[in-house]
Structure 1
Amino acid sequence: MNLIVPDWPAPARVKSLMTTREGGVSQAPWTGLNLGDHVGDDPVHVAANRARLRRQLPAEPGWLRQVHSARVVELGREPNREADAALTRQPGQVCAVLTADCLPVLLCDRAGSVVAAAHAGWRGLAGGVLETAVAAMQVPPDAVLAWMGAAIGPQAFEVGDEVRQAFVSQHPQAADAFIRHPASPGKWLADIYQLARIRLNQVGVQSIYGGSRCTFNEEERFYSYRRDGVTGRMAALIWLE
């Protein structure tokens, strides 16, 4: 199993990682370490993959039913897991989000008192999932650190004008995160990492790390829904020791 360990100055008691597609038992088209139980893969294979991941963790992750919303749940307090971000203040509870092009964002505070994981596809991002997660942490935003995991890169994320308008109407500077598609009139190439930075900056989060990978172009390492359609899911996870 090949894992990504975030390179960010999180406190020592904050632990985090992101899985890749490498090292699992799923067969094509989910080949590798598919952790999604909602994508048509053999449930036995998904369970085996999750068991491999579980050996790296202090507890079973608090898996969410992700719906591209801005809802945040606090693990251990809310039974309804239909949400796109989770947080915890309790040691040993593991926040997790699943992605395959959407942007996973891990959050913690400098004191190591709270951690969160957010699933930021463009709908959730435009809907305020990052802002809601930061607010739910209940710490000063300038004390928050953010790490952006692997997502679809700016050379591959093709969107329509309605997506651009959804962001620019809220933050005019978001226009800088879009360039006209050179081969598709009326289409844009979007930088989801830049869009996330803008929104985090707007609520006072300045310490932002990661944001250099492309799930679409790195086929051997990452799942990509845009590239493959039927595919697996990776996990980004964070917890307190």
Structure 2
Amino acid sequence: MDDAWIVPDWPAPATVGAAVSTRQGPGVSAPPYDRLNLGLRSGDDLAAVVTNRAALAQALALPATPLWLRQIHGTAVAEHSAPREDEPEADAAVARGPGKALAILTADCLPVLFTSADGGTIGAAHAGWRGLAAGVLENALARMAVPAADVMAWLGPAIGAPSYEVGDEVRAAFVATDPGAEAAFTPTRPGHALCDLYMLARRKLAAAGVTRVFGGGFDTFRDSRFYSYRRDGAASGRFATVIWTR
């Protein structure tokens, strides 16, 4: 693929496709959302976003319209069991069988993709710090109903630790249930620390028994290919991390 897309580097089954959109894709959004903004609730023109979503589906040759979610930084998981027009209120989704597509919207939060070893079950999760601490990854894995040893995960573009300063409440939320999570926080000034979302996600996945974890190493704040809410504020669009079954 060209620079409009990031293709996950993971040993997923041949029947599973995945890609991440960038701002450089075939979109029509005007500045400051230029140009492939996919977030309906980002302040962009709604008609432009609908056009962009159709362009994404066409460019990636998706087998079906993705299941888009109304994400609220929670832990609910939707199951894509049949075609639907609405956006369920959830921060993760799973699908079984061929011809399905899932999409996660982010602009600094961590998108996580899952697939079973046989490609029969896929999943996707939106893991901001609140959802990550509360168990959105564990809930997605439970809904997949696949032994953890048969699951692989890919960590998509998120804000990197050097760019992500948080308050003590974030550190406390993780350390309360996992004292070892302290290693993911580097103190900066009183009451604040740099937070490594990738390390925290890997710890969560390892505790759940998922050892085949790929991806990471992005920083949406510093990489202009991606939307970043922390960098751009309310004028930030959303990019999509998509997974599908052929």
Short-chain TM bin: over 0.9
Change in 2 beyond 3 A, CA 1:80/1:228: closer
2:116 match: 109
Q: Does the alignment pair 1:99 with 2:101?
A: no
Q: Normalized against structure 2, the TM-score is what?
A: 0.94
Deviation at 1:74, TM superposition (A): 0.6
1:145 match: 152
SS at match of 1:87: strand
Aligned residue among 51, 59, 63 for 2:54? 51
1:81 match: 88
Deviation at 1:90, TM superposition (A): 2.5
Summarize the alignment of residues 1-241 of structure 1 with structure 2, pairs less than 5 Å apart. Answer: 2-23=4-25, 24-55=27-58, 56=60, 57-76=62-81, 81-181=88-188, 184-219=189-224, 221-229=225-233, 230-241=235-246
For residues 81 and 44 of structure 1, the distance between their equivalents in structure 2, rounded to whole angstroms, comes to 20
Deviations 1:162-182 (A, max 9, x none): 00000011111100000012x
SS at match of 1:155: helix
For residues 84 and 186 of structure 1, the distance between their equivalents in structure 2, rounded to whole angstroms, comes to 29
Deviation at 1:80, TM superposition (A): 7.0
Question: What amino acid maps onto 1:74 in structure 2?
Answer: E
Question: What amino acid maps onto 1:218 in structure 2?
Answer: D
Deviation at 1:160, TM superposition (A): 0.3
For residues 221 and 31 of structure 2, the distance between their equivalents in structure 1, rounded to whole angstroms, comes to 17
For residues 213 and 21 of structure 2, the distance between their equivalents in structure 1, rounded to whole angstroms, comes to 20
Gaps spanning 5+ residues in structure 1: where? none
Q: Normalized against structure 1, the TM-score is what?
A: 0.96
Give runs of ≥4 in structure 1 deviating > 3 Å: 77-80
Question: What amino acid maps onto 1:73 in structure 2?
Answer: A
Cα pair 2:167 2:192 within 8 Å, conserved: yes
For residues 12 and 31 of structure 1, the distance between their equivalents in structure 2, rounded to whole angstroms, comes to 33
- The aligned length equals 238
- Aligned Cα RMSD in Å? 1.3
